[in-house]
Chain A
Amino acid sequence: MKKNILLLTTFFLSFLIVNKSHANEDNCKNIIQQSWDKYRNITSEYEKADILILYDDDRKEEKEIVRWTLFDSLGNDKILTKFIKPIRDNGLALLIWRNEHGDDDQWLKLPSMKQARRISISDESKYFAGTDITYEDSRQLTGERVDDFSYRSLGNNTEYSIIEAEPKPGIESAYRKRIIYINNSNYAISKIEYFNSNNEISKIQNHDKIIILETGAWRIDYLEIINFETKRKTIITITHREINTDINSNVFSKLNLENQSK
C-alpha cells in the first residue's frame, strides 16, 4: 500500500514537473509570438538606413541601404534590400521570399553583374556585405518561425522577460542558441545575445531606440551589434520610414532586382 502511494506520488510529481516545463515553454513561445505579431502589425514598409561598421583598429566603413518589406498574413513575406553607398556596393541587392510551407528563396545581385543569381539559403552564417548581419538575420527581419525553436525562460524582472531560443532538431541555424530580452510593457525585443556552435557568445545586438508606430507595431530606429568573433561593431540608424504604403508586388521580383533603376 505504502509502495503504491509512493509510486503514485512520484508519478504525479513527475507529471507536474513535465507539465510545468511544457507550460513554461508554451508561455515563452507565446511571448515571442506576441512580440512578432506586434512587430508585423503593418502590411508594408519602406526604410532607409545608415550603416556604420567600426573595426578594432579604428577603421570604419559607412554604408547606406534602402529596404522594402511586404508582410503577408500567411507568412509568405518578401524583403528587398539595396545598397546605395559606398560606390563599390551601389547596385548590390538581396531579394528574399519567405515561404511559410517550404524553403525560402533568395537572389543576390552583385554590382559587377547584370543578372541576379539564386543563392542557397543554407548560407545562414555568412555575413552579408561586410556587416555583422548574417543571411539568416536578413531573412528573420520579418519575424522568426516560432515552431522552429524551443523556448525556455531564463527569468523575468520588472522590465524584461528573458527567453532562451534553441533551434529544434532538423532546423538549420547559424546560432546554437539566442537569449532574447523582451520588454514586458510593449513586447518589443530590446536585446539579443547570439551564441555559436561552441556555446560561446558570438555577438550582442542592442536595440537602443525603440519606437511604437501608430498601428502598435514596435520598431528599432537605432541598433548596435557588437561582434566578438569578427572584432567589430555594426551600428544601424534608420533615417527614413514609411509604412502601409502601396508597394507594388513587382518590386519583389528577380527582374526588378536586375533593374538599374534607383
Chain B
Amino acid sequence: MNSKIFIKFLIYFNFIILQLFNSILLHANTLTHSIVSDYEITARSNIELSYFYDNKSDNNNYYSRARIRPKLNANLLQKFQLIAEGDFQCDTDGLATGIVDDYPENENLWSVRFTEFYIQYVNNDLQIDIGKKIYDWSLTDTISPSDNISPREWTELTNWERIGVPSVGIRLGSTSFIEFVYLPYFTPSKIQKNQDRWAPSVPSNVSWSDTKFIQKQTDQFASRIGTTWNSFDLAITYFNGASTSPSYKIRPDLNSALIEPEYFKEEVISFTGAREIMTCVARTEIGYFNQDGEEDFIQYVIGVDKDWPNLFIHGDSLYTMIQYCDEPWSDNTRQSNFSKSNDYRRLFNKSILGKIDYSFNSEKINLIIDYSYNLNKFSNYIEPIIKFILNDTDIEIGLTIFQGDKNTFFGNLNDRDRIFLRLTQNF
C-alpha cells in the first residue's frame, strides 16, 4: 500500500474513531448512570514512522504504525472500580505474533483488543482484582527476574510492552503485604519471527514453524511478600508458569530445518531490594529459574540511578541510570545456542544497560538515550531520542543503532538501524 495514502488514512481514521467514541459515551452515560457513580475517560493515540536507512535485506525499508488507546476508569457502586483500556493498532509491516486471544485480528496487520479489563475491589487492607490485567513486579529496568506474570509484546523491540492476562489477584496489607495471583490459562508473548522486522536472521534453508506451547488450559500462579523497612523496599516473589520468552528447538525437515518456538513451564524464586545510598537510589534483583525441560539458571541485576537538577541552567535536570546484568550460574543443559541467544530474558547477560534523560527548559524538551553494552561480546545498541512536549502532544525524533558481530542478537540486526518519528496525543 502507498505509504502516503496509508498515513493520511490513519490520521483520518484516528479522528473518526474519536468522534464515534465521544458519541458512544454520551449515550452510555444515561444507561449506566445508576451503576456508575463517577467515571473518567482518557485516550492516547500514536503515529509512528520509521525508515531503515541501512537496509540490505529483503525486508521493507520503512513502516508506519498507528494506535489509539481509550481508557475508562469508573467507580461502580461502593468500593468497586472498573478499569478498562482498549487498544486498536495497525502496522504496515505486521505485528509480532502469538496466540490470537482477541477477535478480530487480521493477518497481523491490525488488532483490536482490551489491554486491560478488570474489576477492582478495595476495602482497607484487602484488594481483589478480577479480569484482564497487566502485572509489573519489576524493580529494575528492562531485565527483571521477578517480573514473570505478564507476557511481552515485541512488535517494537526497543519499546516492548507487557500484555494483560486473565487473572484473579488478591493482595492483603499495605506497607507490608502479601499478594497472590492466579492465571487460569496461559497467554504467550508476541514474538518476532519469520520476516518480522526484528526477527533474528536465519539461513535460507531454515524456516519458522508455528509456536508450540504448553496447553492453553495450563494455569499459572504467582505470589509476592513485600515490605518497607528502614528505608529499604524489599520483596520476595514466586512464580510457577510459562516463561515470557520461548525456548527454540531446531528440527530437521527434509533438506532444511525448522525453528520451533516452544514454551516450557518454570518456577522462579526472586528477591528484590531498593534503597537510597549516598544520594543515589540502588536497586537489585536476583532470581533462580528452574525450568522444566530447559536449563536452570540464576540471574541478577544491579543498578543505580540519580537525578541532577539545575545542572547547567536553572530548571534543567539530568537523570542517569546504569545497570549490570549477569548470570553467575546455569546448569548448561540448553539444547541450542540459537535458543540461548534469542531468549529475551537473557539477552543482556554480562551487559551494562543505561539511560540518560536530560530535560531542558522545565521538561519541555528532553534528550533521552537508552543503551546496552555487552562486556563479553560485541553486541550493543543505542537509541537517542529528542522529545518535544507541547501541551498534550509529544513529538519524538530518534535513531536506533545496532552493532555487533554476526550471530549475536544485536549483530544480526546490523542492517536494521533506523530513524523514526513518533507523535503521541493525549486526550
Question: Chain A residues with Cβ under 8 A from B233's Cβ?
Answer: 118, 254
Q: Is the CB of A262 within 8 A of B138?
A: no
* Binding-face segment, B97-105, B182-190, B309-317: B309-317
Q: Encode contact with A along B231-274: 1 for CB under 8 Å, 0 otherwise.
A: 10100000000000000000000000000000000000000001
Question: Chain B residues with Cβ under 8 A from A123's Cβ?
Answer: 307, 309
Q: Is the CB of B136 within 8 A of A120?
A: no
Interface residues of A in 5-38 (CB under 8 A from B): none
* Binding-face segment, A43-51, A83-91, A213-221: A83-91
The answer, among B120, B134, B283, for a CB contact under 8 Å with A114, is: B134
The answer, among A114, A120, A229, A232, for a CB contact under 8 Å with B276, is: A120
Interface residues of A in 92-144 (CB under 8 A from B): 99, 102-103, 105, 113-115, 117-123, 125-127, 130
Interface residues of B in 13-47 (CB under 8 A from A): 38, 40, 42
Tally B residues with Cβ within 8 Å of A.
Answer: 48
Q: Is the CB of A126 within 8 A of B317?
A: yes
Q: Is the CB of A230 within 8 A of B315?
A: yes
Interface: A158 (CB within 8 A): no
Interface residues of A in 227-262 (CB under 8 A from B): 229-230, 232, 248-250, 253-256, 259-262
Shortest Cβ gap from B297 to chain A (Å): 24
Interface residues of A in 61-91 (CB under 8 A from B): 61, 86-88, 90
* Binding-face segment, B171-179, B202-210, B328-336: B171-179
Q: Which residue of B lies closest to A114 (CB)?
A: B136
The answer for the CA separation of A130 and B274 in the assembled complex, in Å, is: 26
Q: Encode contact with A along B87-131: 1 for CB under 8 Å, 0 otherwise.
A: 000000000000000000000000000000000101011010000
Q: Is the CB of A118 within 8 A of B122?
A: no
Q: A259-B122, A261-B122 are in contact. Are A122 and B40 (CB under 8 A)?
A: no
Q: Is the CB of B125 within 8 A of A250?
A: yes
The answer for the CA separation of A115 and B135 in the assembled complex, in Å, is: 9
Interface: B194 (CB within 8 A): no
Shortest Cβ gap from B359 to chain A (Å): 10
Shortest Cβ gap from B256 to chain A (Å): 42
Q: Is the CB of A87 within 8 A of B306?
A: no
Question: Chain A residues with Cβ under 8 A from B120's Cβ?
Answer: 259-261
Question: Chain A residues with Cβ under 8 A from B392's Cβ?
Answer: 86-88
Interface: B280 (CB within 8 A): yes
- Binding site of B, secondary structure by majority: helix, strand, loop or mixed? strand
Q: Is the CB of B73 within 8 A of A255?
A: no
Question: Chain A residues with Cβ under 8 A from B162's Cβ?
Answer: 114
The answer for the CA separation of A105 and B230 in the assembled complex, in Å, is: 10
Q: Which residue of B lies closest to A256 (CB)?
A: B174
The answer, among B127, B307, B427, for a CB contact under 8 Å with A119, is: B307
Shortest Cβ gap from A10 to chain B (Å): 46
Q: Is the CB of A248 within 8 A of B73?
A: no
Shortest Cβ gap from A136 to chain B (Å): 11
The answer for the CA separation of A102 and B228 in the assembled complex, in Å, is: 14
Q: Is the CB of A127 within 8 A of B315?
A: yes
Q: Is the CB of A255 within 8 A of B309?
A: no
Interface: B291 (CB within 8 A): no
The answer for the CA separation of A255 and B281 in the assembled complex, in Å, is: 19
Q: Is the CB of A118 within 8 A of B136?
A: no
Tally A residues with Cβ within 8 Å of B.
Answer: 37
The answer for the CA separation of A114 and B231 in the assembled complex, in Å, is: 21
The answer for the CA separation of A250 and B124 in the assembled complex, in Å, is: 7
Interface: B362 (CB within 8 A): yes
Interface: B350 (CB within 8 A): no
Interface: B351 (CB within 8 A): no
The answer, among B75, B171, B391, B426, for a CB contact under 8 Å with A255, is: B171
Interface residues of B in 337-387 (CB under 8 A from A): 362-363
Interface: B57 (CB within 8 A): no
Q: Which residue of B lies closest to A87 (CB)?
A: B426
Interface: B2 (CB within 8 A): no
The answer for the CA separation of A127 and B307 in the assembled complex, in Å, is: 12
Q: Which residue of B lies closest to A55 (CB)?
A: B362
Q: Is the CB of B171 within 8 A of A105?
A: no
Question: Chain B residues with Cβ under 8 A from A114's Cβ?
Answer: 134-136, 162
Interface centre among B38, B75, B274, B314 (most CB of A within 10 A): B314
The answer for the CA separation of A204 and B177 in the assembled complex, in Å, is: 43
Interface: B83 (CB within 8 A): yes
Interface centre among B134, B233, B275, B280 (most CB of A within 10 A): B233
Q: Is the CB of B276 within 8 A of A262?
A: no
Interface: B211 (CB within 8 A): no
Q: A87-B42, A230-B315, A259-B122 are in contact. Are A122 and B279 (CB under 8 A)?
A: yes
The answer for the CA separation of A117 and B275 in the assembled complex, in Å, is: 10
Q: Is the CB of B426 within 8 A of A88?
A: yes
Shortest Cβ gap from A187 to chain B (Å): 32
The answer for the CA separation of A86 and B281 in the assembled complex, in Å, is: 29
Q: Is the CB of B362 within 8 A of A253?
A: no
Q: Is the CB of B174 within 8 A of A126?
A: no
Shortest Cβ gap from A91 to chain B (Å): 9
Can you list the 5 inter-chain pairs with the closest CB atoms, starting with the nearest? Answer: A126-B309, A253-B174, A114-B136, A122-B279, A250-B174
For the complex with contacts A123-B307, A261-B120, 17 further pairs of A-B residues with Cβ separation under 8 Å are A86-B391, A86-B392, A87-B42, A88-B392, A90-B42, A102-B231, A105-B231, A115-B137, A118-B275, A120-B281, A126-B310, A253-B177, A254-B228, A255-B174, A259-B127, A260-B73, A262-B40
Task: List 10 interface pairs A-B (beta carbons < 8 Å), by A numbering.
Answer: A61-B391, A113-B136, A120-B280, A126-B317, A248-B124, A254-B175, A256-B174, A259-B127, A261-B120, A262-B75
* Chain B residues in the interface with A (C-beta under 8 A): 38, 40, 42, 73, 75, 81, 83, 120, 122, 124-125, 127, 134-139, 162, 171, 174-175, 177, 228, 230-231, 233, 274-276, 279-281, 283, 306-307, 309-310, 314-315, 317, 362-363, 389, 391-392, 426-427
